[in-house]
Amino acid sequence: MDISELNKISQILQEYLNSVGIDQGYTKYLLATFWIIITVLIAWLSNRITKKYIARVIEKIIRKTKSKYDDILLERQVFKRLANLVPAIIIYSMLGIIFEAFADSDIVGHLQKITSSVIVFILLLSFIALLGVVNDIYNTFSYAKERPIKGLIQIIQIAVSALAAIVIISILFDIDITKILTGLGATAAVLLLVFKDTILGFVASIQLSANKMVTTGDWITMPTYKTDGTVIDISLNTVKVQNWDQTITTIPTYKMVEDSFINWKGMEQSGGRRIKRSVNIDMRTVKFCSADMIERFKKIRLLKDYISQKEDELLNHNTTIEGQSVSESLANGRRLTNLGVFRKYLNEYLSEHPMTLNNMTFMVRQLQSTEKGQPIEIYAFSKDQEWKNYESIQADIFDHILAVVNEFDLKIYQLPSGNDFNSLNYGNHSL
């Protein structure tokens, strides 16, 4: 049924009301009320039919398809948002009929402007939902994790929303769009100030994506923000990191480019996790190995071959170079030290350990001596990267080191405690 037929119906009703003696002044209000009721009913029925029946038919068809992409349209409620256009268009079309008798009034024009603005707003919401669909579909691809487009999608949403706002203002106030855009040009400096973080975030999100600096799921640490955890979301303005204590830190996106942070992805991809820890040896316990010590070390399985080989090597060297002077002083010739044998033992122990990687950097080294003793550092990589297991492996290794060090007549250096001072006091009293 077109507008002309509705006009004929309106004329027939008006003639009928006049024929039964209703005053012309009341007739137009009765006709307007009648058409308002009809319009509301038609709009309500059309909305219900569209959402309850047509949308459900579309949903059933989509559910039966093999593709998973069209299911995202349902999850984002694109069709439900578009269904709101039907009653809005019906109301817009009926406004001329409802207020036909009020020809001298501007009410029709004002209501049509409002309805047109509502239609533009519905289209905006539908388009934003469609952009969400595009982002969800993109995230199903493997390369999406390294190159997310969420920031770009948000920029498009902002741009489209701004454009829709301009169109709505143009409709409501009868202003030419070009004039609005010209006016915005004059306030560009203010807009740049208001949207500074958004603009910086947009540029930063492009840099993060293009340079593969960080992606969702990466473990990062950022001391500036006391952040240590997994990235759970990267948006236009913020990067959300869930720390290991389950708290969530929100970092401005542009700060990820301005400030430094550590991304542990390389470690995770390498297959190992670094163990880098040292123990301090009391330097007063470092000494040359005596014959008894060497015999005792030979009984240690991991050192048996090394001690035998080293004895032959040192004997040949000392006989050839030092001659008879070796026995005159410990400073003459080359000799084994308990610290050197201990380092060799740790090398053999770690190389045989089932949870360390021998194909990655691996060593037991001396660090610079300090007032707290001689540091011996373990530098190796654990096969298991999971935090809990990694800490357990590291603890087991150093438990063994602390327990076995006495076998080499060495002692771990530690600062004196209250008990040490108490024992000195008791000793003085006994004297």
Share of the chain above pLDDT 70, in %: 82
Instruction: Note whether 336 and 369 are same-domain residues.
Output: yes
Q: Confirm if 149 and 138 have CB atoms less than 8 A apart.
A: yes
Instruction: Note whether 280 and 265 are same-domain residues.
Output: no
pLDDT at 105 over 80: no
pLDDT at 346 over 60: yes
Instruction: Give the model confidence (pLDDT) of 211-245 as tens digits.
Output: 778 888 888 999 888 899 999 988 878 889 999 88
Mean pLDDT on 34-59? 82
Instruction: Note whether 250 and 285 are same-domain residues.
Output: no
Instruction: Please give the pLDDT value at position 14.
Output: 61
Instruction: Please give the pLDDT value at position 5.
Output: 62
User: Is 23 inside any structural domain?
Assistant: yes
Helix spans in 187-244 (H): 188-194, 196-210
Instruction: Please give the pLDDT value at position 2.
Output: 53
Mean pLDDT on 381-390? 89
User: Is 82 inside any structural domain?
Assistant: yes
> Of 198-202, 215-219, 288-292, which has the strongest mean pLDDT?
288-292
DSSP 302-345: TTHHHHHHHHHHHHHHHHHHTGGGGGG-TTSS---BHHHHHHHH
Distance CA 280, CA 264 (A): 29
Distance CA 339, CA 283 (A): 9
User: Is 378 inside any structural domain?
Assistant: yes
Instruction: Note whether 350 and 264 are same-domain residues.
Output: no
Of 247, 269, 291, which residue sits at a domain end? 269
> Of 60-69, 143-152, 271-280, which has the strongest mean pLDDT?
271-280
202: left (phi over 0), alpha (psi -120 to 50) or beta: alpha
Instruction: Note whether 8 and 98 are same-domain residues.
Output: yes
Ranges 12-21, 61-70, 247-256, 363-372: which has the least confidence: 12-21
Instruction: Please give the pLDDT value at position 431.
Output: 47
Indicate the DSSP class of residue 84. Answer: T
Instruction: Please give the pLDDT value at position 348.
Output: 94
Instruction: Note whether 229 and 345 are same-domain residues.
Output: no
Range of the domain at 217: 209-269
Instruction: Note whether 301 and 262 are same-domain residues.
Output: no
Q: Confirm if 39 and 90 have CB atoms less than 8 A apart.
A: yes
- What is the chain's mean pLDDT, rounded? 82
Q: Confirm if 402 and 278 have CB atoms less than 8 A apart.
A: no
The whole model's pTM is what?
A: 0.52
Instruction: Please give the pLDDT value at position 112.
Output: 84
Q: How confident is the model at residue 73 (pLDDT cuts 50, 70, 90)?
A: confident
More confident residue, 72 or 24: 72
Instruction: Note whether 235 and 351 are same-domain residues.
Output: no
Instruction: Note whether 296 and 397 are same-domain residues.
Output: yes
Instruction: Note whether 242 and 111 are same-domain residues.
Output: no
Tokens of 210: 């293009």
The two beta strands, 262-263 and 248-252, are unpaired
Instruction: Give the model confidence (pLDDT) of 51-65 as tens digits.
Output: 777 877 887 887 777
Of 89, 107, 140, which residue sits at a domain end? 140
Instruction: Please give the pLDDT value at position 264.
Output: 82
Instruction: Note whether 329 and 413 are same-domain residues.
Output: yes
Instruction: Please give the pLDDT value at position 215.
Output: 83
Helix spans in 174-303 (H): 177-186, 188-194, 196-210, 255-258, 265-270, 291-298
User: Is 198 inside any structural domain?
Assistant: no
Instruction: Please give the pLDDT value at position 276.
Output: 92
- Cβ neighbours, 10 Å, residue 115: 19
Query: What's the domain count of the chain?
Result: 3
Instruction: Give the model confidence (pLDDT) of 322-337 as tens digits.
Output: 665 666 667 777 889 9
Instruction: Note whether 376 and 264 are same-domain residues.
Output: no
Distance CA 227, CA 163 (A): 38
Read off the CATH number of the domain in which 251 is found: 2.30.30.60
Q: How confident is the model at residue 271 (pLDDT cuts 50, 70, 90)?
A: confident
